Chains A and B, each alone.
Chain A
Amino acid sequence: MSSGTLKYILRRIAYMFPTLLGIIILTFVLFNGFGGDPALIKLGKHATPELMEEFDLVRGYDKPLIIGNWGTTRAYRTETFKEGLSVWGSMEGVSQKDGNLLLDKPGETRVPTGFSLHPAEYRWKIDWSLGGDKPAWLKVYGASNLIAELELVPGNSRGEVTFEIPKGIEPVITAIEVPDSGLEIRKLALGRKNRHFFDSQFFFYIRQLARFDFGVSHETNQRVSTMIKDGILPSLSLTVPMFIVGLLVSISLALICAFYRDTLIDRAFVLVSVVLMSVNYLVWIVLGQYILGYSLRIFPVWGYESARYLLLPCIIGVVSGLGANLRFYRTVMLDEMYRDYVRTAFAKGVSKSGVLFKHVLKNAMIPILTSVVMAIPFLYTGSILLETFFGIPGLGRMGINAINSSDFDVVKALVMIGGVIYLIASLLTDICYAMVDPRIKLK
C-alpha cells in the first residue's frame, strides 16, 4: 500500500467524524427536541407532577436541552398562555386576555404549582405588563416565611428572581400580589438550577453513546442495548441468507442477460424485471403467506422455531427484490461489456462465455462489491414487514412496535446505529476503491 493511499484512508476516516456528529445531532434534535413527553407516556393514567418529576430526574429529562444553567421542573412548567390557561384554568380571579394571563383579583394569588418545591436552587422568570402606578410582587414563602421577592414595576417588563430552598421547610408557596389595577402576565417560567452549564440532555446523550448505552425502553423496561442484542440475530438470520441468495440469483440472471444481450431472452428478462419491480412488496408477502403458507401448506404460516420457518419469508424477500437487483446488475454487466478490454479480448478470439466469466464478471466485482457493502446497513434494520407477518422477533418488528408505542429511546437507538453502520460501510467501500485505484483522491 503506497503512502498516498494510507494518507487518503486516514483523511477519509477523519472526514467520518463530522458526519458522525451530524448523525448524533440529527437523532438528538428529532427525538429529544420534537419527541413527546416520556414521563407522561410511561406513567400513564397514574401520572402526577411529582411522579413525573422523579421520572425526569432519573432519566435526565429535567436537564436543559443543549446547554444552560437552568433545567425544568414539573412543579411549574413554562406557560405562555397562548394555548389556554393550563394549570391556572380553574382558579378564581384568573382569565385569559389577548393570549396573556390576566390576574384581576387584588391581593395575593397563589401560583398553582404541582407540588411543594424540593430543596434546590430555583429561578422564577416573568414577563408582565402592569397598569396603574402601584407595583405588583412575586413572593416565595417557605413554611410561611418570605424567602424571596421580586418587584413587578408598572409598565411592560420582565424580570427574574433566584432563590434557594433549604431542607425541611414546607410548604413552599409562590404567590403574586396583584394591585387594584390587575396584572397581565405574558410568560411565567420556573427553572431549577442545573449542576453545571454543560450538564445537559445533549451531553448526557453523548456520554451515554460513549458507553454504548442507549437508554432504557419505557415500553418494555429493557435496556435498549439488550433489546438490540436480542433482535439482531433473528434479523440477520433472515436478511443474510435472503441477501446472499438474492445476490447470487440476480448476478447469474444478469450474466445470462449480458450473454444474450439484445436478444429476445434479454428483453424478456428486462420486461420481467420491470414487472416484478412493480408488484408491491406488501402484495408479495400477503399472497405468499396466503397461498404458500395457508392454502397449500408448504410452509409454516407463522413462527420462529427452526430454519424451516425462515424459508418462506426468505423466498418472498428474494423474489420481491429480484426485479430491481436484476436490472441493476444487468446495467453493471453491460457497462463492462462496452469497455475496451472486452473488445480486445474479443479481437483476440476469446469466446463469448470466456470473456463474460473471465473479464466482465471480474471487473464488475467492484460495483457489485460496492452495492454489497452498502447493503449491510439494510441487513441490520431487518425486514419490518416480513418480521411482522411471520412473527420473527427481529429488529424490524421491534422497531415497528417501538414506533407504534412512541418508544423514543428504542427508535432513536435503531436510527442512530443504522446511521453509524452506513457510515462505516461507506468508509469500507471507499477504502476498497482506494486500494484498487490509488489515484482516487478525496472529492
Chain B
Amino acid sequence: MSSAQGKLRRHLFRALFLCSLTFLPLLGAGCGSGAASADPDEMVMYYQTSRIRGFDPAKAGDVASALSIARIYEGLLQYSYLERPYKVEPLLAEELPEVSEDGLVYTFKIRKGIYFQDDPCFEATNGKGRELTAGDFVYSIKRIADVRAESTGFWVYNKRIAGLNEFRDASRESKTTDYDAPVEGLQALDKYTFQMKLTKPYPQLLWILTMHYAYAVPREAVEYYGKDFLNHPVGTGPYRLASWRRQYRVEFERNPKWAETGRVELYPSQGEPGDAEKGLLDDAGKPVPFVDRIIARVIDDTSTQWLKFVTGEMESSGISRDNWNAVLTQEKELSEGLRKMGVRLFSSQTLDVYYIGFNMDDPVVGGNPKEGADPERVAKARKLRQALTCAFNSKEWERFYNNRVARATGPIPPGVAGYDSKPSPYPFDLDKAKKLLAEAGYPDGIDPETGKTLSLKMEVGSAASSEFRQSLELISAFMKKIGVRIELSYNNWPTFLSKMDRRQCQLYMLGWVADYPDAENFLQLFYGPNSSPGPNHSNYENPAFDELYRQIQTMPDGEERTAIYRKMADMVVEDAPWIFMHNPMSYGLYHAWVENYKPHDFPYSMGKYRKINVKTRDEWKKTFGRKHWKEVNE
C-alpha cells in the first residue's frame, strides 16, 4: 500500500467528518422562522390553510390563496359580512358607483387617505407607502389583461370593457407590454375618480369587482419585484405579510399604516335577523381588525389537522370523512365530548353543484334540440336522460354522504336568485324512470335492435379517495336498477380534462364552484357557444336557451331577470343535459374563543371581522390541556 493512498484515505475520512460538522448547524438554521412576538396582550389567530400560490392577485385562482391575498390587498367593493342575501358594499370606493342610464359607464369615487403599506418599492418616497389613486385601478385591471402577466382572471373582463381586448392583443404581439397605452374603458378622470366603460351592460360587474382580479396593485411594486412580485405583496389591506415559509407557514401582522394614516374601518351594524342573538352584532361599530397577528400552517394530513384542532393549536377545523362519526352524532349534532369543550359547529349549504354530465354530441345519450336535428331522435335521447335522472336515488345518495349533501333540483343552487324550491319534475322515481326508458326505446334497458343491455361509459377524474370510488359504484348500482349498465373509466386529472376538452366523454362527473352568487354563473355552463373546449362540457346547445342567455347577459338585476333565470333553469331540467346530483353542505368546527364568525360563501376580506378571545383560550388550555382531549376523541 503506497503512502499516497493512505494519505488520501485519511483526507477522505477527515473530509467526511468535517462535512458532518458543517451540516449539523443546518439543523438549527434550517428550521423555524422566528416565533410570534412575545407580547402577551397580542391577539393571535392560528389556522390551517392549503398551499398558497403566491400573493399576486392576478394569478391566484384557489380559495386559500384568495383568502390570503384578501388580507393584504383590497378592491373597490366587498361582500356584506352579515347581511343575506349577499349584498355588495363599498370598500375602497366611497359609495356604490354611479351608473349611466344605458348601464355602460360606471363611475367610482375613491376614498381619500387610503395608503399602501410601506415598502422599498416606493423609491420616490423613500419606501413610504403612497396614497391610493384611481390610476391604480386602471393599472391593475390592465395587468389582468396583459398576456405576459399570465393572469388566470381575464375571463372576468373578456370582451366586456371598451378597448381592453385591443390592449390584450397588443400585449400578445409585443415582447413587453406598454401599460401607458390608453384603454378607453378604464380611465382615471382625476386622482380620486375611476371610470369604467363597458362594451355592453354587465350586470355581474359589481360582484366581479369584489374579486381579487379587481384589487388595487401598485405599479411600483410590480416593476420593482418583477417575477418575484408574487412573494412581495404590497397592499392597502388590514394586514401585511410578516413571514412566509412556502409550503409550511405564513404569518400576517397588522398593517401599521392604518394607525399611522388614521384609517378606520368599522364592524358592520346591520345583520340578518337572529345575528344579534348569536352575539354577532356585539362589536357593531367598533374599529377592525381585531386580531393583531394571524398564523396559518399548511398541514396536508387530516389526522394531524385534527390533532392540532383538538389541542387548541388551531382555531378551526373542517370535518374529514374519517372523523365524521367521531365528531357528529346521528342527528348531525356535535358529539358530547366536543360540546363539553365548547366547540361550536357551523353548517351551511354551499353554492357548488355536483353533477353527471351527458355529452350532447354523443349518438346515444346526446341530441341537441336545434334546427335540422331529427326531432324523434332528440326526443328519445331526452327521455333516456330523463330516465337516468329519475333513476338517480337521491335518498340513498344523501345517506351515503351522511347527509352532508342536499339533492340539487336544477342548475341554480339555493340562495341564488332564480332558485326554485318547487320539486324537480324528474325526482327519484323508479317507475317513472322505467317508463321513460321504455319510451326512449330501451324497454328494461335492452336495446331492441341488438338485444343487448344499454351500456354507458362514465369518465371520472382521479379516484383518489375510496369514498369517491364507492360513490361511483353506488351510481352504477342506481342505474342497474332500471337495467342500464354503467361502465366506469378512471383517468388521471389531465387526461380527464383533455377528454372533456375533446368531447370524448359519454358521461362524466364534475362539480361547479360558484364564482359569484348570480345564476348567470351557472347558466353559462349550458350556453351553446361555450361548448368544449369552453366550460359547457356537455356541449348542450338549445337555440331558445341561447337566445334567453344573450338576453340576460346584459339585463340588470330584477324580477324580470329572475323570471327568465327560472325559465332557463326549467329548460335545462327538462332537457336534462346533466343529472343534478347535489349541493354539498359545508361543516366547520370552531373553538369557543373564536368570535364574530359567520359562514360565508365568499369569505374574502372578511378576516378583519374575526376576533379571538385570548382569555377564554388561555383558560381552555388550562382546563382541557393535553390530557383531556384524548378521552374526548374516543
In the bound complex, CA of A292 to CA of B87 (Å):
51
Chain A residues, Cβ within 8 Å of B300? 388, 391, 397, 401
Q: Encode contact with A along B27-65: 1 for CB under 8 Å, 0 otherwise.
A: 111111001000000000000000101101001110000
Q: Shortest distance in angstroms between B23's beta carbon and chain A's nearest beta carbon?
A: 4
Closest to A359 in B: B1
Is B621 among interface residues, defined by CB-CB distance under 8 A? no
Closest to A89 in B: B361
Q: When the two chains form their complex, are residues B245 and A40 in contact, meaning their CB atoms are under 8 A apart?
A: no
Q: Which of B27, B497, B498, B502 contacts A84 (CB 8 A)?
A: B502
Q: When the two chains form their complex, are residues A90 and B59 in contact, meaning their CB atoms are under 8 A apart?
A: no
Chain B residues, Cβ within 8 Å of A74? 533
Q: When the two chains form their complex, are residues B301 and A220 in contact, meaning their CB atoms are under 8 A apart?
A: no
The contact size tier of chain A is: 35 or more
Closest to B531 in A: A90
Is A132 among interface residues, defined by CB-CB distance under 8 A? no
In the bound complex, CA of A398 to CA of B31 (Å):
16
Q: Which of A45, A307, A363 contacts B535 (CB 8 A)?
A: A45
- Knowing A221-B53, A302-B308, A389-B301 are in contact, say whether A89-B12 is a contact too (CB < 8 A): no
Chain B residues, Cβ within 8 Å of A362? 6, 9
The contact size tier of chain B is: 35 or more
Q: When the two chains form their complex, are residues A436 and B5 in contact, meaning their CB atoms are under 8 A apart?
A: yes
Is B368 among interface residues, defined by CB-CB distance under 8 A? yes
- Knowing A87-B533, A220-B246, A362-B6 are in contact, say whether A244-B23 is a contact too (CB < 8 A): yes
Q: When the two chains form their complex, are residues B504 and A304 in contact, meaning their CB atoms are under 8 A apart?
A: no
Q: When the two chains form their complex, are residues A372 and B361 in contact, meaning their CB atoms are under 8 A apart?
A: no
Chain B residues, Cβ within 8 Å of A41? 493-494, 497
Q: When the two chains form their complex, are residues A230 and B533 in contact, meaning their CB atoms are under 8 A apart?
A: no
Which one of A180-188, A234-242, A259-267, A272-280 is at the B interface? A234-242
Q: When the two chains form their complex, are residues B8 and A40 in contact, meaning their CB atoms are under 8 A apart?
A: no
Q: Shortest distance in angstroms between A111's beta carbon and chain B's nearest beta carbon?
A: 15
Q: Shortest distance in angstroms between A220's beta carbon and chain B's nearest beta carbon?
A: 5
Q: When the two chains form their complex, are residues B493 and A237 in contact, meaning their CB atoms are under 8 A apart?
A: no
Chain A residues, Cβ within 8 Å of B173? 119
In the bound complex, CA of A48 to CA of B532 (Å):
8
Is B182 among interface residues, defined by CB-CB distance under 8 A? no
Q: Which of B147, B298, B532, B539 contacts A54 (CB 8 A)?
A: B147
Q: When the two chains form their complex, are residues A241 and B495 in contact, meaning their CB atoms are under 8 A apart?
A: no
Q: When the two chains form their complex, are residues A84 and B59 in contact, meaning their CB atoms are under 8 A apart?
A: no
Q: When the two chains form their complex, are residues A219 and B53 in contact, meaning their CB atoms are under 8 A apart?
A: yes
Which one of B90-98, B148-156, B390-398, B610-618 is at the A interface? B148-156
Q: When the two chains form their complex, are residues B23 and A58 in contact, meaning their CB atoms are under 8 A apart?
A: no
Is A287 among interface residues, defined by CB-CB distance under 8 A? no
Q: Which of A288-335 contact B (CB under 8 A)?
A: 294, 297, 301-307, 309-310
Is A46 among interface residues, defined by CB-CB distance under 8 A? yes
Q: When the two chains form their complex, are residues A365 and B504 in contact, meaning their CB atoms are under 8 A apart?
A: no
Is A110 among interface residues, defined by CB-CB distance under 8 A? no
In the bound complex, CA of A302 to CA of B306 (Å):
12
Q: When the two chains form their complex, are residues B12 and A432 in contact, meaning their CB atoms are under 8 A apart?
A: yes
Is A130 among interface residues, defined by CB-CB distance under 8 A? no
Q: When the two chains form their complex, are residues A43 and B152 in contact, meaning their CB atoms are under 8 A apart?
A: yes
Q: Shortest distance in angstroms between B100's beta carbon and chain A's nearest beta carbon?
A: 28
Q: Which of A22-78 contact B (CB under 8 A)?
A: 35-37, 40-49, 51-52, 54-55, 57-58, 74, 77
Q: When the two chains form their complex, are residues B498 and A90 in contact, meaning their CB atoms are under 8 A apart?
A: no
Q: Shortest distance in angstroms between A340's beta carbon and chain B's nearest beta carbon?
A: 12
Q: When the two chains form their complex, are residues B16 and A372 in contact, meaning their CB atoms are under 8 A apart?
A: yes
In the bound complex, CA of A114 to CA of B155 (Å):
15
Q: When the two chains form their complex, are residues B539 and A90 in contact, meaning their CB atoms are under 8 A apart?
A: yes
Is B399 among interface residues, defined by CB-CB distance under 8 A? no
Q: Shortest distance in angstroms between B568's beta carbon and chain A's nearest beta carbon?
A: 19
Q: When the two chains form their complex, are residues B26 and A237 in contact, meaning their CB atoms are under 8 A apart?
A: yes
Q: Which of A230, A231, A240, A307 contacts B31 (CB 8 A)?
A: A307
Chain B residues, Cβ within 8 Å of A297? 626
Q: Which of B299, B373, B493 contacts A391 (CB 8 A)?
A: B299
Is A135 among interface residues, defined by CB-CB distance under 8 A? no
Q: When the two chains form their complex, are residues B147 and A304 in contact, meaning their CB atoms are under 8 A apart?
A: no
Q: When the two chains form their complex, are residues A223 and B227 in contact, meaning their CB atoms are under 8 A apart?
A: yes
In the bound complex, CA of A398 to CA of B307 (Å):
23
Q: Which of A195-229 contact B (CB under 8 A)?
A: 219-223, 226-227
Chain B residues, Cβ within 8 Å of A226? 228, 231
Chain A residues, Cβ within 8 Å of B35? 305
In the bound complex, CA of A250 to CA of B469 (Å):
44
**B53, B373, B501 — which one has the most chain A CB atoms within 10 A of its CB?**
B501
Chain B residues, Cβ within 8 Å of A369? 12, 16
Q: When the two chains form their complex, are residues B497 and A304 in contact, meaning their CB atoms are under 8 A apart?
A: no
In the bound complex, CA of A278 to CA of B477 (Å):
41
5 contacting pairs across A/B (C-beta < 8 A): A51-B155, A83-B504, A87-B502, A306-B28, A391-B301
